[in-house]
Amino acid sequence: MKEIVIISGKGGTGKTSITASFACLGGKDVIVADCDVDAADMHLLMQPDWKKSEDFYSGVLAEIDQEKCIKCGKCADVCRWDAIPVIDNEYIVQPLDCEGCGYCALVCPADAISMDEQNVGKWFLSNVKTGTKMVHAKLGIGAENSGKLVAKVKSEAKALAEKNNKQIILVDGSPGIGCPVVSSLSGASYVVLVTEPSVAGIHDLKRVYELVKKFGIKAGCIINKADINLEKTKDIHAFLKTENIDLISEIPYDENFTKAMTQGKTIVEFDNGKIKQILEDSWKKIKYL
């Protein structure tokens, strides 16, 4: 079984548009996993039926039992986040400021503070329009993605692939280089880096590739909007060559990407010309690697 993870480092490079296109081209052969859950949007293109959903718990927040509280103020003294102000003569934890470190609970002499697991969102198992299944998640307001949630989404996708005898798991990876990305990459068989020829695009490509390198995973690169800055595209070529990264394809800037998106379609369903051809060729390359 192959696990193909698509990441970009920088947002707005077209990662999800391209991943959803591959999901369309892969059709029934792939299981789709959306691990970009901070602001999940792949469902807009895949039209899931939200068939099964389960609550997701992650992280803890402090809560003070006012009955037990002796108002000594030790919790507020040690809180690095100043998350325990006195309101109407009661010590109250501010949930948006609390980082869940547990220092307050440790020093509380009255044992009045509990650290409670938080319901931060839901994860879903859906049937999607391409005739296959997708595992995805939605976080509540202010909740953050975590390695834990990504690991959960990926392990559900893997179990599905095993059960339905599918050979490919297509993962829309998380942005940045932090914990969720580490979790997206862990266990992957191939990484597709989607970038664009801009200063931030190249910077973040290099940054995220440092992480890919540590994992020792083979990587390929798609340069999206390759014609908007030819000089920067050349810089990307040079970087790929030094690092021995495959150049999978270059996609020219095309407003059909946005037009397709506004209709809830992927570019391969909307465009019948050049872009579709490039993405089909790219998918073939990735699929047979």
Interacting residues with another protein (CB under 8 A): 1, 58-59, 146-149, 151-152, 177-179, 182-183, 185-189, 211, 214-217
Q: Which is nearer to another protein, 92 or 179 (CB)?
A: 179
Could you tell me the smallest distance in angstroms from the CB atom of residue 186 to another protein? 4
The residue ranges of DSSP E strands in 48-159, in sequence order, are 52-64, 86-87, 90-91, 113-127, 133-139
Contacts 24+ apart (CB under 8 A), 87-93: 90/64, 90/66, 91/64, 92/64, 93/61, 93/62, 93/63, 93/64
Distance CA 3, CA 103 (A): 40
Distance CA 248, CA 42 (A): 22
Q: Which is nearer to another protein, 25 or 160 (CB)?
A: 160
Could you tell me the smallest distance in angstroms from the CB atom of residue 113 to another protein? 20
Could you tell me the smallest distance in angstroms from the CB atom of residue 261 to another protein? 32
Could you tell me the smallest distance in angstroms from the CB atom of residue 199 to another protein? 24
Q: Which is nearer to another protein, 217 or 289 (CB)?
A: 217
Could you tell me the smallest distance in angstroms from the CB atom of residue 181 to another protein? 8
CA angle 3, 159, 59 (to 5 degrees): 90
First-to-last alpha carbon distance for the chain, in angstroms, is 12
Q: Which is nearer to another protein, 177 or 251 (CB)?
A: 177
Distance CA 108, CA 123 (A): 35
Q: Which is nearer to another protein, 8 or 249 (CB)?
A: 8
